[in-house]
Structure 1
Amino acid sequence: MRNSTQVSFFVLEAFLDVGLLKYLLFAVIMCFYVLTLCCNVLLILVICVNRTLHEPMYLFLCSLFVNELYGSSGLFPLILVHILSDSHTVSAPLCFLQIFVIYTYANVEFCSLALMSYDRYLAICRPLQYRTQMTPGKMAVLISLTWLYPAVAIGVLISLSSSLQLCGNIIHKVYCDNYSIVKLACSDTTVNNVYGVSYTAATVGLVLSIVYSYARILQVCFSGSRQSRQKAVSTCTPHLASLVNFSCGCFFEIVQNRFDMRHVSTAVRVILSLYWLTCQPLFNPALYGLNLSKVRIFCKTLVFHKISHN
């Protein structure tokens, strides 16, 4: 058995030495981060200000956009600091905090997508019961659970990981990752592994519930008129595109964690490990902002009103 030590900091080893190009990389990532913030904040303001958008579907979207801000802020600032820094170390408390933010972000993302699929299922498959089943009180409870469940689940995960005796402090990524820390452990990780499998199974269950909901929506709508089929396509397309995009990113991350990827270049591994954390926060605002007519119309009205006023 390797000697265990009390780890006070971790080294993020995947950062590449690109010389003066680091300033260009910093500028590109900073622009990406600012664009992500602006897009999500804009859509949150649009939904909050416009009373006609105070419907369950749009309020669930607002919660999703808040989560994109949350996840981005847990990743980008630390990466930007490390790009300009010569020392790629992070203190243990800050590392576990980043793990908590990133993992809760991922869970809230899946929970939000599941919640939106349930809302659309009720609206299309059970339209007469929609108003009685999706009341303001129930909507508030569902949104609260969307955030509370991941916070509790990941809190337990962090407590299990932080209590492990570690034999190293090198993480082969550009951000802190729970599985990377578990692999550094000298002590028994059976409980961590069992909890991790249960946690993954619950997430897969959420994904399957989303797929079932949209399968039922498509079944109902495609058995109806042409107008119903068009409604099904317009309703399901953005949700399913968001689900596929995020699920593929998470799949890339799981593959990297579970299998030996040393034959793949470091740059490719870094890009794949960041895909699920960087693309979704910008993908969702663009996807929903362009597909939801009420949001598009309100944004155009707001922009043209400011231009004419000036």
Structure 2
Amino acid sequence: MVYLWKPQQVLAVLVLMMLMFTVFSDYGPLRYLFFGLSLLIYITIISANAVIVLSVCLETSLHQPMYIFICSLCLNSLYGSTGFFPRFLMDLLSDTHFISRPFCFIQVYIMYTYLGDELNILTVMAYDRFVAICQPLQYHSKMTFRMVLLLLTLAVLHPVCILGYFVYQASSLPLCGNSMNRVACNTWSIIELSCVDTTVISIASQIFAIISMFIPLFFVLYTYLRILLVCRRSSSEFRGKALQTCLPHIVTFGNFCISLFCEFSLSWYNVDGLTTFATVLSLEFLIIPPIINPLVYGLNLPQIRRVIFAFLRAGKRLHLP
């Protein structure tokens, strides 16, 4: 027996298969200004991170653990930005703000794996600085290319596998609504639209998020406490070199922790009364770290700065008649 669906039934299924962003409003001509500013930010992120990646890849003197980790950090910024900005730019120019359910969960997966990878890479970088400063004689035997590859693989695969499971569980939930007051898909917002009791998955995801944030945070604090104790017993020249290599990481890690705190705080609590303010803060982890990271490392580390300037001078000479 074959059943034919009525047009009303087809329309209902299509509506449930789509999620709608309600935070976008009709800004009129201002939408083009917002689009131009967002496009400029996206181009800046791509350009700044690509410069660092190319510098590390093309310059053999930068094929060292610390610079490989910095390159990985910039590649992750490109990955996370690409999961958000193209769709966001389309929504700014569009009158209808719909996204298919599968693509919504793909966006969730990309953005959260970006967060997890970023946090893990920053934690691995703290361990690298700890070994370099506290155990300098063992650095080359411990931080071999094989060890660097293993650490990066674990840092990347851990969020990919664990978050993949949570996103899969969220994607299997039946939804009774299709409107989100967000500029991008968010797991907590989707769970709130579910027709069934989501207490278990909500508690499990919150526990996982807290553990995933605080374990790396405590580890980084421990490594820098050990580094501080070693620097106190060392010469001023040693302290200066240690500060030169650790300061960029401290800045990027602190900035990322603030971004992470803003994102999860806004996700867990109802912020409908602070729509504009919440919208700006919800984008912080997607904009500030990808811009800050290459600028901090490119401007503060003389090795990377020299390579960038050398490439710029070589490019100018190539354009001379």
1:30 to 36, 39, 50: 39
1:67–1:108 CA contact under 8 A, matched in 2: yes
1:10–1:90 CA contact under 8 A, matched in 2: yes
Corresponding residue for 1:40? 49
- TM-score for the superposition, normalised by structure 1: 0.95
Q: Which runs of 5+ in 1 are unaligned?
A: none
Q: Does 1:239 align with 2:267?
A: no
Corresponding residue for 1:61? 70
CA shift for structure 1 position 275? 0.6
Q: Does 1:251 align with 2:256?
A: no
3-state SS of the aligned residue for 2:19?
strand
3-state SS of the aligned residue for 1:263?
helix
3-state SS of the aligned residue for 2:84?
helix
Write the distance in 2 (CA, Å) between the matches of 1:64 and 1:185: 35
1:222–1:228 CA contact under 8 A, matched in 2: no
Q: Does 1:154 align with 2:163?
A: yes
2:176 to 154, 159, 167: 167
Q: Does 1:178 align with 2:187?
A: yes
2:188–2:268 CA contact under 8 A, matched in 1: no
Corresponding residue for 1:286? 295
Q: Which amino acid aligns with 2:280?
A: I
3-state SS of the aligned residue for 1:176?
coil
CA shift for structure 1 position 197? 2.6
1:128 to 137, 147, 150: 137
Q: How many residues are paired up?
A: 305
Corresponding residue for 1:100? 109
1:11–1:170 CA contact under 8 A, matched in 2: yes
Q: Which runs of 5+ in 2 are unaligned?
A: 1-11
Q: Which amino acid aligns with 1:289?
A: G
3-state SS of the aligned residue for 2:283?
helix
- For residues 260-279 of structure 1, what are the alpha-carbon distances to aligned partners after superposition, in whole Å with 9 as ceiling and x for unaligned? 32332x22211110011111
3-state SS of the aligned residue for 2:26?
coil
CA shift for structure 1 position 212? 1.3
CA shift for structure 1 position 79? 0.3
3-state SS of the aligned residue for 2:272?
coil
Write the distance in 2 (CA, Å) between the matches of 1:135 and 1:298: 23
CA shift for structure 1 position 304? 1.5
- For residues 95-146 of structure 1, what are the alpha-carbon distances to aligned partners after superposition, in whole Å with 9 as ceiling and x for unaligned? 0000000000000000010010000101110111111111111111111111
Corresponding residue for 1:225? 235
Pairing 1:185-224 to 2, within 5 Å after superposition: 185-200=194-209, 201-224=211-234
- TM-score for the superposition, normalised by structure 2: 0.92
Corresponding residue for 1:269? 278
Radius of gyration: which is bigger? 2
Write the distance in 2 (CA, Å) between the matches of 1:163 and 1:188: 13
CA shift for structure 1 position 233? 2.0
Write the distance in 1 (CA, Å) between the matches of 2:314 and 2:245: 29
3-state SS of the aligned residue for 2:20?
strand
Write the distance in 1 (CA, Å) between the matches of 2:290 and 2:136: 31
Write the distance in 2 (CA, Å) between the matches of 1:197 and 1:63: 27
- For residues 182-204 of structure 1, what are the alpha-carbon distances to aligned partners after superposition, in whole Å with 9 as ceiling and x for unaligned? 11122122331233133211222
Q: Which amino acid aligns with 1:143?
A: L
Corresponding residue for 1:80? 89
Q: Which amino acid aligns with 1:14?
A: V
CA shift for structure 1 position 280? 0.8
3-state SS of the aligned residue for 1:11?
strand
2:245–2:301 CA contact under 8 A, matched in 1: no
